[in-house]
Amino acid sequence: MIVAIPTEMDSLNSKISERFARTAYFLFYNTNDDSYEFISHEMQQEHGAGTKIVNELSVRNVEAVISKNIGQNALQALKVGNIKAYIASAGNVKENIDFLKSKKLQEF
């Protein structure tokens, strides 16, 4: 499964970003083979950033996201795109991936 996570830095030890669509980086993590890629991603537009990023996630075949906050429009777009959204817990990116793998994260 490919999981997208908004992060503050391009490191698995990074904190998860407080912002979903306007994050500094997105981590794309494949839980099947533990491969990953960070993409620099700063959205500066005022409106519609959430739905725009969901379109990008769909193109990348993302099946789930882990985030602290997701706006209502982005959350609705994720549901329409059949992308599951999980609430990030305390801890860094790697810890949250481990929580997801062990089914310890709750869905939005």
* Cβ(5)–Cβ(36) below 8 Å: no
Is the pLDDT score of 43 beyond 60? no
Q: What is the pTM of this model?
A: 0.90
Question: Which segments within 1-108 are labelled E, that is strand?
Answer: 2-7, 25-30, 35-40, 64-67, 84-87
Contact between 27 and 95 (Cβ < 8 Å) = no
pLDDT in tens, 60-70: 999 999 999 99
Give the pLDDT of residue 23: 87
- Which pLDDT score is estimated for 19? 87
